[in-house]
Amino acid sequence: MHRLFGIETEYGIFVEGREASDLVAESMNVVRSYPRIHATAWDYKDEDPRRDMRGFRVDQLSSNPEDARFDRPEQAQLPRDQERSDRVLQNGARLYNDHGHPEYATPECRSLKQLAAHDRAGERIVLECARRRSSAGRIVSLYKNNTDYHGSSYGCHEGYLMKRDVPFDNIMAVALPFLVTRQIYAGAGKVGVEQKNSFDLDAPYQISQRADFFSVEASVDTLHNRPIVNTRDEPHATSRHYRRFHVIVGDANLSEYATAMKVGTTALMLSLVESGWTPPLRLKNPVLAIKQISRDQSLLWHVDLDDNRSIRAVDIQRLYREEAARRFRGEDDETDWALSEWERLLDALESDPMALADRLDWVAKRALLESFIASEGLSWEDPLIQSLDLEYSNVDPDQGLYHGLEQSGEMLRLLSDEDIEEAVAHPPADTRAFIRGESVRRFAASIAAIGWGKVIFKTEGHLTGLNLNPLVDGQVAALNRNLCAAEDIRQFAAMVKEGAKGDSP
């Protein structure tokens, strides 16, 4: 797909006998239960969530006043990085707690199947941690979802490397209609509405868990006053050449197919941005539209444009798909797969959305809940239905309803269990994540600092820094193969430095 991408998932957590104010400590304990080789010296120096891609830096980020009700006084005194328990894993991923949630960030991937495998590897890794923590005391349950059903949301963020020289206005023009309408196949589904005063749109079932929680078109914030287009400027690469397009509007998917399509179509959208294309339409009110689409019980998903016309979300997505096919078909197998599946999805969403119950989370969940409601004589308002909604996302295969569908052969699989176990233990072989993972596997005790774009070793009192930022757009696979032959840390570092020099843009 010609770019690096990754997914960061915050997991919902429930600990038997604990309150919301205990969840920061409990999430830290879950992360600290990780039993395999890891490094802990995460370097925050290159992270600046207040830097905006529009060319300025905000004084502070918005925080949700509701969250503050559950913070303990001693937590308020801690710097943000001291609230975290970081683990950098030998598969190149990062496991940590983001305030009151365990979070897993996949390694950088260059393949949709590769990314889907590493995303699912995260489910197995956090489950292993939860089970170890449970064996030491209270039962811990983790959920791959985006809401606590009491007005708070936590994210599943995507990151895409893209060119720096694309004007911001072009990014907005292309990304905004796309992200508002992408939920028709990328949504995870949700019972009820949490923001009931928002535009007076009630619904027993929505197609998106996150749509309730967006209130502005663009900003750098992620925790409150959330934007549809996030403008955070943290490239994790050479900043004069690249930026990272940070997507916070998406749901956490359990379906491998939905994950691959969510990322594949977004990568193609960014290729359209970089090619200079802009769509011949503008949404009248994107913040209203993202909620209307999510809550539309007719499944027709009409959206108002700024010229007072109305158009279906399916037709907006089809506009992007047809332009991407015209420009990019034939570039590689995964591009062609994504384009073909995109068309197949849109055709089905237009004619019979419920026929996609074997591959889209929101459809699978809705079909499951509708069947239960009919068999038990219940209504959507029954509290049991919301409990089943939550259990759909339980990461424990013995408890999660999604896993039950998968085990009974009712969900389309793109991966084998062996693919996922490979991703649990090993980094992608064709991205810079391999260098991070190998550094952890072979030299964890010598790591003084580590991040997305760097590794710093401390040996015999001397620091050796490796700059991974240039290693995002070249033939990294060849370097990675050669690194396997490095006899010691000195030779390993020398080979990485030489490879980074040759890969600089």
Rounded Cα distance, 114 and 420, in Å: 9
Rounded Cα distance, 252 and 120, in Å: 11
Q: Is 168 helix (H, G, I), strand (E, B) or coil?
A: helix
Examine the residue annotation and report whether 22 is marked as an active-site residue of this protein: no
The percent of the chain in helix, strand and coil, each rounded to the nearest 5, is: 45, 20, 40
Strands 226-230 and 214-219, by their bridges, are parallel
State the Cα torsion 276-324-240-493 to the nearest 10°: -160
Provide the 8-state DSSP code for 18.
-
Rounded Cα distance, 209 and 386, in Å: 12
Cβ contact 19:131 at 8 Å: no
Partners of 39 in the β-ladder: 88
Three-class secondary structure assignment of 80-103:
HHHHCCCEEECCCCEEEEECCEEE
Rounded Cα distance, 325 and 382, in Å: 45
User: Of 52, 98, 296, 503, which residue is the catalytic one?
Assistant: 98
Cβ contact 489:473 at 8 Å: no
Q: Where in the sequence numbering do the catalytic residues fall?
A: 98
